[in-house]
Structure 1
Amino acid sequence: MVPCRGRVAPTDFIYVGRLVASKKVDILLHAFRLFVAVHPESQLHIVGTGDQYAMLQGVVRDHSIPGVTFHGHIAELNDLRAIYDTCVASVSPGYVGLSVTQSFSLGVPMIISRNEPHSPEIECVVDGVNASFFETDAPASLCGEMESWYGRAGQHDDRAAAIAADCKNRYSVERMVAGFVEAVNA
């Protein structure tokens, strides 16, 4: 995949994944409510479906949170890339799954909840380089990390290529086959 940068500094954030309780998207919505009060130009893109879809839309409505778009499921990579292209960072308010490698492959850093039962993909995270952590279940802490990445948005073009290259090096077919062969020969 090619990193999706090369234009004006991004202003938005994205969540891609299932809309279920364990993903804690409500924490992200409350953090974004704090963030957008200071940065009204920012948007939050929610990509995915799940049993909390209607409840999360209710949180947005009940708290009058501006700038939140629920896209539903997006299957086309180019459509997803167009959204990632506007984003400062992706966010994982619950446990990290495969979306971290997708975000990194597109050159977009991720903000991650610190104390979750993360999937094995967490091993590709380098704190301060391609990701940062916030205190679990703390919207104010998440908002602080959003502020931090937003303040460095102009540097993301330079960082995007490095994030994408690192992901490609770790998750190429050749690297995975080499790891498998090494395990079999051990």
Structure 2
Amino acid sequence: MTNKILFVSKDASWQKYRNEILTELTTRFDCEVDVITQSDIKSYISPTNKLRYHKCTNILKQLGNLNLFPYTYKFILKEKPSAVLALPNSSNITELTLALFCKLTRTKLIYWTHGYDHCQRPDSGLKKYLEKIRVAIINCCVSKGNSIITFSAPGKQYLVEQGIEGHKIFVAPNTLNTEKLLASYLPVTKQQVADFKTHYSLHNKTVYLFSGRLREGKRLNHFINALAQSKHKADIALIVVGHGEMFNQWKSMSEKANLNCHFLGEIFDEAKLAVIFKSADWFIMPGYVGLAIVHAFSAGLPVLTEKISFHSPEINYLKDGINGKMFNEFSTDQWTTFIDSEGLNDATKSMMSKEALKTVNNEASISNQLSSMAKALGVMANV
């Protein structure tokens, strides 16, 4: 009998990567998934006959980020799903109240969570104590779940330290559809790469790539400042894909420093992105790193970033000196030293590139994530 899974997520529609993960879950395992969300179902979200989306009314929409959509409880009572999957967050009133509702209705509840909080939080004053209360409430609700899926091993460790039983915690390394990503680079030809490099005068240059939202937390200015101090800046090029509030400021910075930088704006065409990624040598993300690391590794690009406390769990894929590098926070000198030494070393680039691909095929593979999720959800593989 096919398992019916209900996934409750107030922002499900913008998370395209989760759509792909859930699609693959229903393809490889004997289950169907219904997603309840408060947001519009965007055009890039692709429902299937086994993955359905339901937009419902949030009765707390006037209260900031809080959500409460009673339709969730009605759906559980009527459809009787074999399991409910939910994302715990202090603003997700619906998801947190499921800890009690699912207990009363004897419905299996699985929380899908980072485990630990990777965001920057207040460390003093009244806000610090309110934060402790917030965390305590979340941990209490999570502990009531039948199973818990964490994005990384440190997430599981944190929850165990909070007194939650380790046997019901499943580590499903958060990732993208790595098989699709790896396949997307196969059609890229040497001629396409050569044409791209000719267009932007990248031949005989070491190419650094940044791809993501251009907002302050990404700290691209750290790399720009470091490159401006490089003795070899004439041999270096920076490609920037993305847009955001810092676009004009960072573009102006690079122009004033007379750097070979190309700000390409937002690009959604996957074929074009594949050519750009295959034309680069290094992937940089000085600020917080998320799933971009999986995208970069899939193209064989080592990742360079800084040691900060609020990286997303995906940072655990990075092994310093093996498939990438981590520099001390705000250390412009370390960035510049790398640019002028290891960054120019073909043997180092080749070694780290191979390790990046190895990481994607092993630790960060979509198969790893799905198999662990399936165990937590109690679904079997399709025969």
Q: TM-score, normalised by structure 1?
A: 0.85
- Structure 2 residue ranges without an equivalent (≥5): 1-181, 194-202, 379-383
Query: Could you tell me which residue of structure 2 aligns to residue 125 of structure 1?
Result: 318
Bigger RCO (CA 8 Å, 6+ sep):
1
Decide whether the 8 Å contact of 1:10 with 1:87 is kept in 2. Answer: no
Query: Could you tell me which residue of structure 1 aligns to residue 216 of structure 2?
Result: 21
Query: Could you tell me which residue of structure 2 aligns to residue 59 of structure 1?
Result: 253
Query: Could you tell me which residue of structure 2 aligns to residue 138 of structure 1?
Result: 331
Distance 1:5 1:88, change over 3 A: farther
Distance 1:157 1:132, change over 3 A: closer
Query: Could you tell me which residue of structure 2 aligns to residue 78 of structure 1?
Result: 271
Query: Could you tell me which residue of structure 1 aligns to residue 237 of structure 2?
Result: 43
Equivalent residue letter for 2:242:
G
Cα distance in 2, alignment partners of residues 94 and 5 from structure 1: 32
Tell me the CA shift for residue 32 of structure 1: 1.5
2:281 match: secondary structure: strand
Cα distance in 1, alignment partners of residues 310 and 373 from structure 2: 25
Cα distance in 1, alignment partners of residues 348 and 364 from structure 2: 25
Equivalent residue letter for 1:86:
S
Larger Rg, first or second structure (1 or 2): 2
Distance 1:135 1:47, change over 3 A: same
Equivalent residue letter for 2:311:
H
Decide whether the 8 Å contact of 1:5 with 1:160 is kept in 2. Answer: no
1:32 to 222, 227, 230: 227
Cα distance in 2, alignment partners of residues 148 and 77 from structure 1: 32
Decide whether the 8 Å contact of 2:211 with 2:240 is kept in 1. Answer: yes
Query: Could you tell me which residue of structure 2 aligns to residue 181 of structure 1?
Result: 374
Distance 1:65 1:97, change over 3 A: farther
Deviates more, 1:135-144 or 1:89-98: 135-144
Q: Give me the CA root mean square deviation.
A: 2.6
1:87 aligns with 2:280: yes
Tell me the CA shift for residue 128 of structure 1: 1.0
Deviates more, 1:152-161 or 1:112-121: 152-161
1:112 match: secondary structure: strand
Equivalent residue letter for 1:50:
G
Cα distance in 2, alignment partners of residues 13 and 147 from structure 1: 13
Cα distance in 1, alignment partners of residues 189 and 315 from structure 2: 24
Tell me the CA shift for residue 111 of structure 1: 0.8
Cα distance in 1, alignment partners of residues 204 and 294 from structure 2: 22
Tell me the CA shift for residue 66 of structure 1: 1.8
Decide whether the 8 Å contact of 1:23 with 1:94 is kept in 2. Answer: yes
1:80 match: secondary structure: helix
Query: Could you tell me which residue of structure 1 aligns to residue 307 of structure 2?
Result: 114
2:362 match: secondary structure: helix
Distance 1:11 1:86, change over 3 A: farther
4+ residue runs over 6 A deviation:
3-10
Decide whether the 8 Å contact of 2:208 with 2:238 is kept in 1. Answer: yes
Tell me the CA shift for residue 136 of structure 1: 0.9
Cα distance in 1, alignment partners of residues 250 and 342 from structure 2: 24
Query: Could you tell me which residue of structure 2 aligns to residue 172 of structure 1?
Result: 365
Cα distance in 2, alignment partners of residues 9 and 40 from structure 1: 10
Tell me the CA shift for residue 162 of structure 1: 3.8
Query: Could you tell me which residue of structure 2 aligns to residue 156 of structure 1?
Result: 349
